[in-house]
Amino acid sequence: MNAERSEDLGPLAERAARGEQAAFSELVVKTQRRIYQLVLRLVSVRSDAEDVVQETYVRSWQSLESLRDPSAVMGWLCRIARNVAHDRMRQRKRRRIESLDQVNDAQLTPLVERLAAEGPDPEQHISDAKLAHATAALLDDLPDKYRVALTLREVDELSYEEIAEVVGCAVGTVESRLHRARKILTRKAQRLAREIDVARAKGA
Amino acid sequence: MNCKNIATLVDRYAHQELDEETRRAVDAHLDGCDACRAELAGVTRIGAVLRAAVEPAEPPAGLAEHSARAAFVAGRRPRARPSLLDRLLPVAWPTALASAATAALLWFAVPAASAKSPTWGGTIEAASLGLGASGGETAELTVATELMAATLGDQDWQEVK
């Protein structure tokens, strides 16, 4: 976790805006983790995420002096990161990890059963790489804004406020996106579970 | 506490982010509500699956250094988008005047060459040179600021401005 609170970055941003390279370097060190998290969840591919992060800092150094409120530097950096990421995704449609129908039923079944189950499910550790693959495919099928909010929350363990800042929306919007994301994911899993059942019945 | 209040709290409850009092209120509601217990189970289950299947985003070593270095190599730009006021004052006015003066000179020179429309040729040119040609002004500004930056060095230039 980044121990630094976003508002505390103000003085550093001010010095960087005046052209102090050391201050900018420190600002990069203190913000890169959050920026990388956001960007990776947006573009999904690690090498792309690294490029986007780098470009984000190149652009921010170029225009830091136009930053009106240095204490809001984190939100400002995130906005640049989102723009760069969107440019990147427009250039080449997000490289999909693998589309759902390319993942076979054998890979999908355990995941789908777990997600579609009605009752409570004790936390089970899934280490199977295939299962991870199937989850990634299922997640990749979610609309961007839902996928980003859900992974930042569940995998990167950001708070609502942190997600609101990096994504650039209200806390209430984060709440509703998370709710929606889980609904869609569960519905998808349940539909897949039914399809798998049907396929099994036919095969039997 | 009812199901509607609970809906927004379930996620924070699952992540153990609630204060003691709220947590106890949610507990009390969950005890008697199957629907909300199922909701909580769903949140927990999806979280567990995602955490097990997706790696947390950890920036690779050296990314910060690379990024900062790339930024310094690319350098600074004077101003990405100068405001209208910046464009008109104070540097632009001398440019506009100079253009107008050039145009005036042209205006006197032109009638001799082309007898047909001596009145408008020069004036229109003056208008386009002096007032409409923000592209030209910006280019001049950029050249000027780059010269300044080159002479003063990056940091001094920031101070001067």
Residues of A in contact with B145 (CB under 8 A): none
Q: Are residues A59 and A21 in the same domain?
A: yes
Query: Is the entire prediction scored with pTM above 0.90?
Result: no
Q: Which of these three, A65, A91, A117, is where a domain ends?
A: A91
* Residue B86: CB atoms within 10 Å: 13
Share of chain A above pLDDT 70, in %: 80
**Residue with the larger pLDDT of the pair A123 and A5:** A5
Q: Are residues A69 and A137 in the same domain?
A: no
Q: Which of these three, A91, A118, A148, is where a domain ends?
A: A91
Confidence check: pLDDT of B152 > 50: no
Q: What is the pLDDT of residues B59-108, one digit of tens each?
A: 999 999 999 999 999 988 655 455 666 656 555 555 566 666 666 666 66
Kindly state whether residue A79 falls inside one of the protein's structural domains: yes
Domain extent, residue A114, equals: 100-203
Q: Which of B46, B63, B77 sits opposite A115 (nearest CB)?
A: B46
Q: Do A28 and B67 touch (CB under 8 A)?
A: yes
SS3 B123: helix
Q: Are residues A117 and A190 in the same domain?
A: yes
**Surface of A (154-193) touching B: CB under 8 A:** 154-157, 159-160, 175, 178-179, 182, 185-186
Q: Which of these three, A31, A61, A91, is where a domain ends?
A: A91
Q: Are residues A87 and A105 in the same domain?
A: no
Q: Are residues A186 and A107 in the same domain?
A: yes
CATH of the domain at A22: 1.10.1740.10
Mean pLDDT of chain A: 84
Q: Which of A24, A121, A160 sits opposite B71 (nearest CB)?
A: A24
Residue found under tokens 């890169």: A32
Cβ contacts of residue A127 below 8 Å, gap of 6+? B52
Kindly state whether residue A59 falls inside one of the protein's structural domains: yes
CB B39 within 8 Å of CB B5: no
Kindly state whether residue A1 falls inside one of the protein's structural domains: no
CATH of the domain at A142: 1.10.10.10
Q: For position A171, what pLDDT does the model report?
A: 95
Q: For position A110, what pLDDT does the model report?
A: 72
Q: Which of A19, A29, A151 sits opposite B54 (nearest CB)?
A: A151
**Residue with the larger pLDDT of the pair B40 and B123:** B40
Kindly indicate the confidence band of residue B115, based on its pLDDT and cuts at 50, 70 and 90: very low
CB A26 within 8 Å of CB A40: no
Selected for mutation to probe chain B from A45, A61, A126 (highest B CB count within 10 Å) is A61
In angstroms, the CA B90 to CA A200 distance is 78
Q: Are residues A81 and A138 in the same domain?
A: no
Kindly state whether residue A75 falls inside one of the protein's structural domains: yes
Kindly indicate the confidence band of residue A200, based on its pLDDT and cuts at 50, 70 and 90: confident
- Of A5, A39, A11, the C-alpha closest to A24 is A11
Average pLDDT for A141-163: 95
Q: Do A54 and B67 touch (CB under 8 A)?
A: yes
Average pLDDT for A137-159: 93
Q: How many helices (H) and strands (E) does chain B have?
A: 9, 0
Kindly indicate the confidence band of residue A201, based on its pLDDT and cuts at 50, 70 and 90: confident
Q: Are residues A197 and A136 in the same domain?
A: yes
Q: Are residues A144 and A81 in the same domain?
A: no
Residues of A in contact with B159 (CB under 8 A): 18-19
Kindly state whether residue A199 falls inside one of the protein's structural domains: yes
Number of domains in chain A: 2
Q: Are residues A122 and A173 in the same domain?
A: yes
Q: Do B46 and A154 touch (CB under 8 A)?
A: yes
Q: What is the pLDDT of residues A32-88, one digit of tens each?
A: 999 999 999 999 889 999 999 999 999 999 999 889 999 999 999 999 999 999 998
3-state secondary structure A52-68: HHHHHHHHHHHHHHHCC
Residue A118 tokens, joined: 């009605």
Cα of A65 vs its chain's centroid, Å? 29
Q: Are residues A104 and A78 in the same domain?
A: no
Q: Do A154 and B47 touch (CB under 8 A)?
A: yes
In angstroms, the CA B51 to CA B64 distance is 26
**Residue with the larger pLDDT of the pair A170 and B153:** A170
Q: Are residues A84 and A110 in the same domain?
A: no
Q: For position B60, what pLDDT does the model report?
A: 94
Q: For position B160, what pLDDT does the model report?
A: 36
Kindly indicate the confidence band of residue A189, based on its pLDDT and cuts at 50, 70 and 90: confident
**The length of chain B, given as a count of residues:** 161
Kindly state whether residue A165 falls inside one of the protein's structural domains: yes
End-to-end CA distance of chain A: 50
Q: For position A138, what pLDDT does the model report?
A: 84
Q: Are residues A144 and A78 in the same domain?
A: no
Long-range contacts for A7-15 (Cβ within 8 Å, ≥24 apart)? A7/A71, A9/A70, A9/A71, A9/A73, A9/A74, A10/A70, A10/A71, A10/A73, A11/A70, A12/A73, A13/A64, A13/A67, A13/A70, A13/A71, A13/A73, A14/A70
Mean pLDDT of chain B: 70
Q: For position A114, what pLDDT does the model report?
A: 72
Complex ipTM > 0.95: no
